[in-house]
Amino acid sequence: MSPAPDDAHRVHCRLDELLADRGMTLTDLADRVGVTVVNLSVLKNDRARAVRFSTLTAICDVLGCDVGDLFTVR
């Protein structure tokens, strides 16, 4: 059985909503997490294929949330 294509996922990133709740911009988050705005934009728009644990940890630390709050499966 061949693996599913990388783009064929249903994971939705709720970064937009979490940022709005906290009144933060993507640029602010990028500065504090240490990831480029481009990469965070990719994540926010569900175009990411994989996320490093270190990135997840940093985002959750800054937003004060859990990994489960960040993603849902549609």
Partner 1 sequence: MVSIIVMENRMRPAGTLTWVVQGLCLALAALSLVGSLAWVLGPNGADVVPLYRLGEAIGTSEQNTVAHEAVVVSGRAGVATAAAANEALAPQREADATSASPSGFVEFYGAQAQLSFWGLGRWESLAWTGTRALPLLGLSLIWLLLALTMRDVRRGDVFTTRVARRVAVIGGLVLVGVPVTAVLRQVLAVHLVESSWAADIADAAPAALVPWWSVVVGLVLLVLATAWREAAVMRRDLEGLV
Residue environment code for 63-74, b if the CB has 16+ CB neighbours within 10 A, otherwise e? beeeeeebeeee
Query: In the window 6-65, what residues touch partner 1 (CB under 8 A)?
Result: 6, 35, 38-43, 45, 47-52, 55
What residues does 12 pair with on adjacent strands? 72
CB of 66 to partner 1, least distance (A): 18
C-alpha gyration radius of the chain: 13
Shortest distance in whole angstroms from residue 40 CB to partner 1: 7
Name the nearest CA neighbour of 74 among 2, 1, 14: 14
The nearer residue to partner 1, 22 or 47, going by C-beta atoms, is 47
At its nearest, how many Å lie between partner 1 and the CB of residue 25? 14
Interacting residues with partner 1 (CB under 8 A): 6, 35, 38-43, 45, 47-52, 55
